[in-house]
Chains A and B, each alone.
Chain A
Amino acid sequence: MNHIKQSFGFVVILVLAFGPPLVNAQSEEELVGIPAKAQEVCAACHGLDGNKSMTPDTPKIGGQASDYLAEALEQYKNGMRNHPIMGAMAAGLTSQDIQELSNYFASQTSQLFSKY
């Protein structure tokens, strides 16, 4: 099962990398300043602002704490956190990518809040 999930993650990353751009509703101007990988990789599942989860098990990341997002991406990358798709996505990110992406999504409007 794990094997299937892994190869599935691989297919997803191939399509995201080489397929047509999945985000095309925005005009060029609106995309200025948004990290390229946020548009090309993250947006397909999390939405361009991190608030539009494509499936119910995809977390909202818009406005989430940036250092938490960075930690999560580092863990996906080094295998401490296991997820077939996120593992494949994070594998291609440099430390600088991770910083940029975390800061970008953390700075978006948020539906998340600290709940007691």
Chain B
Amino acid sequence: MIQEKGKILDMKLQKVLSVLVILLLFGVESMHAVAQDGNAEAGAQKNAMCQGCHGIPGFRTAYPTVYTVPKLGGQNALYLANALRAYKSGGRTHPGMRAIASALSDQDIADLAAYYSENKKIIVSTEKGTE
């Protein structure tokens, strides 16, 4: 009985391990897009379209639904780049973001992702604001 339990546990462990391996492979696969090197300083010159919403602590988007825009500062660069690419391709549907992302080149996206992921506060928000 105990032996059987141990066996089941072993099988479970094997399953978890194999999924982790798959996850790693996928993780690597999904990282290919990061090959494009972003330049944070260049990104800082390209973010005029971002500032009006994402630069204001607690700013809420009004359309199509009302909610606080996400904080981007300090976010993972690859996530940010993927988000912009998804807006551009239609995988993410916010109309305002789609319009903005459509105008960005791959290099723009990489630069903006580098700029926002950088843990350097250009303007420090003093409000807590968004919770």
A12 to B125 alpha-carbon distance, docked (Å): 38
Q: Is the CB of B131 within 8 A of A66?
A: yes
Cα–Cα distance between A68 and B70 once the two chains are bound (Å):
6
A65 to B67, CA, bound (A): 9
Bound together, the chains give a CA A55 to CA B24 distance in angstroms of 9
> Does B72 sit within 8 A of A, measured CB to CB?
yes
Chain A interface, number of residues (Cβ within 8 angstroms): 35
Main SS of chain A's interface residues? loop
CA gap between A8 and B123 in the complex, in Å: 41
Q: In the complex, what distance in Å separates the CA atom of A107 from the CA atom of B130?
A: 10
| Per-position binary interface string of chain A over residues 1-34, scored 1 when its CB falls under 8 Å from any chain B CB and 0 otherwise | 0000100100110010001100000000000000
A107 and B128 CA atoms in complex are apart in Å by: 11
With beta carbons under 8 angstroms apart, the residue of B13, B70, B119 that contacts A64 is B70
Judging by beta carbons under 8 Å apart, are A60 and B74 in contact?
Answer: yes
* Given A81-B92, A112-B75, A113-B121, A20 contacting B16 (CB threshold 8 A): yes
B122 and A115 within 8 A (CB): yes
Bound: A113/B75 CA distance, A: 9
B interface residues (Cβ-Cβ under 8 A, vs A): 12-13, 15-16, 19, 22-23, 26-27, 30-31, 34, 51, 54-59, 65, 67-79, 82, 86, 91-93, 115-116, 119, 121-125, 129-131
